Amino acid sequence: MQPVRLGLVGIGKIAVDQHLPAIAANAGFRLAATASRHGQVEGVDAYAHIADMIAVARLDAISLCTPPAGRHALALTAIEAGLHVMLEKPPAVTLSQVEALVGAARTAGVTLFATWHSREAAGVAPARAWLLDKRVEAVRIHWREDIRRWHPGQEWILGPGGFGVFDPGINALSIASEILPHQLVVESATMDVPQGRASPIAATLTMRCGLAEVRGEFDFLQTGPQDWSIEVDTDAGTLRLGMGGALLQLPGEAERPADDQEYPRLYERFANLIARREIDVDMRPLQLVADAFLIAERRVTDPFIF
């Protein structure tokens, strides 16, 4: 079988750090072209715009690594050209945009894959399996990182549609919605928005999983040790996920070792979906963020400068 001829759109930090190595390691894909205003890949045909790439390059699929704002139009361009599409997280800036893409992909008969890379972390699947027959009593989510370290100069992330602290925070919500046995429901929220910015730099969420309270704390101004952890209190003890889901500790057991195979697993999944022409789009993490934006108490804080 011939490899899928892939076009990569948006050659930024996430593409360089994660997508390119995963594509190179998967024999089912061949990187045939890129489209980006700011980056190129040596030895690969490069275009400034996705429409130019699609018009000239012979492609089967597109992987979109651009910021979420504008991604709907890019994905729709690819779908209408008959190409399979893989979306970085979050898949778009609104729920209606994602729903429209799902409808377009069904009409075109192509694969649409909205990825949640943190769900592919080593500890997530075994955590979900362990929790299946447990009673959840409380959940604590801590997602605290340094915006200047992980998103240097990315002004868009605090702008309209940039998600702010929920750009990383949605990773936590993608894990929680995957491993917990009941649908998460947002009850209240606060958002700290720097003066002159549109998206929060810190936030808290109070949610429910059945009768259990789920408390989420998200902070983009964390200095020192970074913290991406989830603790789940159950009738059988406390489950702990650390390092964004890579590390898992079950009650009475030693911490399980991590691996770094999130993006290789995503591309393996994309290949399988393409082979079956299936759609895989779970909007639950985006729904939780949208609910938070709807009901949050917004507090204006000091201006933020990168």
d(CA 161, CA 117): 20
Could you tell me the CA-to-CA distances from 45 to 23, 87, 100, 164 in Å, in that order?
A: 16, 21, 30, 33
| Block residue for tokens 């790439």 | 53
d(CA 147, CA 167): 10
Helix axes 95-108, 71-80, angle to 10 degrees: 10
Q: Give long-range contacts, CB 8 A cutoff, 24+ apart: 25-30.
A: 25/264, 26/264, 26/267, 26/268, 26/271, 27/3, 28/1, 28/3, 28/4, 28/267, 28/268, 28/271, 29/3, 29/4, 29/61, 29/267, 29/271, 30/3, 30/4, 30/5, 30/6
Strands (E), 195-244: 202-209, 212-219, 227-234, 237-242
- Beta-carbon neighbour count of residue 261 at 10 Å? 15
Residue 256 DSSP class: B
* Annotated catalytic residue 13: no
Written as six digits, the tokens of 168 are: 């990383």
Comparing CA positions, the residue from 158, 216, 184, 204 lying closest to residue 297 is 204
| Rama region for 154: left / alpha / beta (φ>0; ψ in -120 to 50; rest) | beta
Written as six digits, the tokens of 152 are: 């240097």
Selecting among 19, 72, 84, 89, the annotated active-site residue is 89
Q: Tell me the catalytic residues.
A: 89
